């Protein structure tokens, strides 16, 4: 999980996730060690959870959120796509 998405409090680690109604919800998680600039999340997320990773200072639980999908990035060693002949 990007370091910027993880909130550390005296009670533990939190993430904001997008609930089924498109609103922000706080989710307690268990964070492990760092991997580069990311936290390893050990518990508290389920497959398919949508984590909010930007504008956290403006965010509050229950606020309606308009999600923007992250840009897809290519690995540094990726070759450009070519058209089939």
Residue 68 inside a domain? The answer is no
Residue 39 inside a domain? The answer is yes
Residue 26 inside a domain? The answer is yes
Residue 71 inside a domain? The answer is no
Residue 49 inside a domain? The answer is yes
Q: What is the CATH number of the domain that holds 20?
A: 2.40.420.20
Structural domain including 42 reads: 3-58
Residue 74 inside a domain? The answer is no
Which two tokens mark 77?
Answer: 């060693």
Residue 50 inside a domain? The answer is yes
Residue 30 inside a domain? The answer is yes
Q: What is the pLDDT of residues 40-64, one digit of tens each?
A: 999 999 999 999 988 888 899 999 9
Please, is 39 exposed, middle or buried when counting C-beta atoms within 10 Å of its C-beta (0-12, 13-18, 19+)? buried
Q: What is the pLDDT of residues 6-42, one digit of tens each?
A: 999 999 999 999 999 999 999 999 999 988 889 999 9
DSSP state of 70: P
How many structural domains are present in the chain?
Answer: 1
């Amino acid at each position: 999980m990007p370091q910027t998405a993880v909130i550390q409090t005296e009670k533990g680690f939190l993430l904001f996730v997008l609930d089924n109604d498109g609103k922000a919800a706080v989710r307690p998680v268990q964070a492990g060690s760092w991997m580069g600039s990311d936290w390893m999340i050990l518990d508290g997320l389920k497959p398919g959870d949508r984590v909010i990773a930007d504008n956290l200072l403006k965010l509050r639980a229950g606020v309606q959120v308009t999600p923007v999908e992250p840009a897809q990035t290519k690995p540094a060693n990726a070759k450009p796509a070519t058209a089939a002949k």
